[in-house]
Chains A and B, each alone.
Chain A
Amino acid sequence: MSVYAVDGLEVWRDDRAIVRGVSFAVDAGECVALVGGSGSGKSQTCLAPFGLSPLEPRGSARLDGRELIGLTERELRPLRGRDVGFVFQQPLTALTPHLKIGRQLAEAHGRRPSRGALAAMLERVGLDHADERLDQYPHRLSGGQRQRVLIAAAIAHRPKLLVADEPTSALDASLRHEILALLGRLRAEEGLALLLVSHDLAAVADHADRVVVLDRGEVAEAGPADAVLERPHSDYARALLAATPRITDPAPVLPAPGPLLIEARGVSVSFARAGWRRGRIDAVAEADIAIAEREAVALIGGSGSGKSTLGRAIARLGPIDHGEVRWRGDPLPPRARMTKAHRRLIQPVFQDPIASLDPRWRVSDIVGEPIRHLRPDLSSRQRADRVKAALQEVELPATLADSRPAELSGGQAQRVAIARALVADPAMLLLDEATSALDVLVASHILDLLARLQHERGLAILLITHELAVARALCHRVAVMDGGRIVEEGRAAEVISAPRHPVTQALVAASV
């Protein structure tokens, strides 16, 4: 008998079904992946039957033979604490910062476990120095370690079913691989039934037995993972698979680089330690980087490697301790003394598309902001024309010009941010994880747009990313960062085919 069986599930928001007719079953020791883009209803499908969503589930969802739908919150609560475990997307915020790891695990365990039992729980999820970790606070742990702790907490009470909602989306490629492997091992060793939710079909298909692809609340395709991966028969699944950039894709055609555009030498950035502790932390140490006209360079590294800090220091959008940045041979002034002429040269696009737009402004005002400041010579009529042209260039309908950011989807918001970066005709773009917060399908459209702009406008690009495949799709050269230093640099194809530094090797291994 299946551990968890969903039959004809619907999820209703007010008087509209956002999920319709979804059926699947998970057996003990089996992994079913629920895959779809944002808005496909995949999270609602897995959360609503357990009462973890404000929306109303209908149909049937049986856990261990017991019907969940129709149960009250009172009846669901002990079920959630006993038979199901949950892992969510955000490992950085899902642990309470002021409680030690041991305390949080004990809470998840329910009864009063011994210290040894708690340490064993951490060992089960492959965390080293388990005994020591119990006395540490969450901030001492990296993102991947925290996700392991959360998995340990989710399976502490030995549930039959583990629901993992995008457990790896906030992690970089090598960690993603490790966490998925861990989930696979737990499933094999303990007979755990796993319901894995993801937007990335290619990433989870290797780890799942069966795949259910959701498109706008309905099942587009369902079947064994191999079959869906090899021979997808629905258009949507095919599009999802095609959207995932891979380092084995054929080499992209890139514009030929011109003369040297920007050169940074000996850039170091440090931050004061938080709280009362003395001293500073080096975020970037003595980094050199050069970008030619029409050339795209990727800064690659895990979280905390200093890649964003370096990118912002060069673009004069962040602090810098020392180091020199030259633009076509002339030194770029420090951040506080950047003139309007300097600001026009480099324009940024950030990771979180919604947060990088002022929620109180209209799209047309947001896109027009740079030219209002940087091109006071233009008349308001000319500026309005340029805003219109920029929206057209990023393939946004003119009807969105009066919308506010909250009304936009993630992909539309990122297009607005790109239009804002383009409107003042910069020579270089700083793309700070510009596709990382978007789901696979949307990210691939944005990547296509960036590639088109790269060719049409001859833009130089500094691309900050944790994904090798994204870098390869757009960049001539890559620089790999670790612990604030550039540890390897070279042509994209060469670094990927013959990585020298261990960090690069791990990244490449995880991306295949």
Chain B
Amino acid sequence: MKGRHHLALIAFGLIVAAALLGPLSVRWPHEAIDWNAVRVPPFSPHHLLGTDSVGRDLLARTLTGTRVTLAVAGAAAFVALAIGTAWGALAGWKGGRIDEAMMRVVDALYALPFMFVVILLMVVFGRSILLVFLGIGAVEWLTMACVVRGQVMAVKQRPFVLAAEAAGAPPLGIVIAHILPNIAGVAIAYLLLTSPQVVMVESFLSFLGLGVQEPLTSLGILVKEGADDMDIAPHALLLPGGMLVAILVSLTLAGERLRDRFAA
């Protein structure tokens, strides 16, 4: 088991490194069109993994797409973690009326249709990739807040919290030093459960024209384009699809390893 988790961590590290450095090392920029090589198969001259229907290098596009997808997922997960943890920890720790009020706010936001919120954001602030981060994070934090609140309420019952109060630790100090470290494992496990979902939402938004815009690309867009051509050029689907699967599997396994370490 342990070995597999290490492998997952290494695999995820390699994917991140490829996403960061890869686009620099490929001869073709992701948006460049090679009119001499439209829809060529893998292992063609100049295009190691072939090109798409308008002659853009698939390797370059997959690497750039990975980079964009990881950035969106990472940033959205971070936003969800930051807001959700702060909100949930405060509600769970304070309890009583404050908790009631804070969780009703969460309920109200839950009730808003997600697409409506994102479209509204786009209309008001214009289209930008930053807004995609924020929009996804703004929705994912709600569930994170509920998870963290429940965990905080459970941990705050444990006697070591009372012992810390007797030891003169201030309330905020107790939350930071005792409670948050003890819920970190669950929060991280949940975060890694949501990251595949974030990746999906990102590609869905991009598909609707609300997310990442051409010529910039993401794995979601590439999978969609590949699916359109899958009967004549299966590699255009398999390449970004395989990358997506590799990200999700390695992320999940690496997350399990992290969670186990926090739980111990």
Contact = CB atoms under 8 A, between A and B. Distances in A.
A344 B168 contact: yes
A431 interface: no
B110 interface: no
Interface in A93-110: none
Contacts of A360: 181-182
Contacts of A374: 167-168
Contacts of A358: 160, 164, 178, 181-182
Contacts of B169: 369, 373
Interface stretch (A133-141, A348-356, A484-492): A348-356
A391 to B, nearest CB: 16
Interface string B39-80: 000000000000000000000000000000000000000000
Interface string B141-172: 00000000000000000111011111111100
Contact of B160 (A344, A356, A373, A424): A356
Nearest to A347: B166
A420 B182 CA distance: 20
A273 interface: no
B165 A350 contact: no
B264 interface: yes
Contacts of B162: 312, 317, 348, 350, 356
B158 A317 contact: no
A315 B160 contact: no
Q: What is the size category of the interface that chain B forms with chain A?
A: 10 to 19
B174 to A, nearest CB: 10
A68 interface: no
A355 B264 contact: no
Interface string A309-323: 000100101000000
A348 B166 contact: yes
Interface string A352-373: 1001111110000000011001
A426 to B, nearest CB: 9
Nearest to A374: B168
A343 B167 contact: yes
A350 B166 CA distance: 12
Contact of B158 (A346, A355, A369, A406): A355
B182 A369 contact: no
Nearest to A357: B160
Contacts of A344: 168
Contacts of A352: 159
B168 A343 contact: yes
Nearest to B179: A358
A452 interface: no
Nearest to A356: B159
B184 to A, nearest CB: 9
A28 B240 CA distance: 71
Given A355-B158, A355-B159, A317 B166 contact: yes
B179 to A, nearest CB: 9
Contacts of B164: 358, 369
Nearest to A351: B159
Given A359-B182, A373-B169, A374-B167, 4 more contacts: A343-B166, A356-B159, A358-B160, A358-B178
Interface of B: 158-160, 162-170, 173, 178, 181-182, 264
Interchain residue pairs A-B with the least CB separation, the first 10 = A373-B168, A370-B167, A356-B159, A343-B168, A350-B159, A374-B168, A358-B160, A369-B167, A360-B181, A340-B168
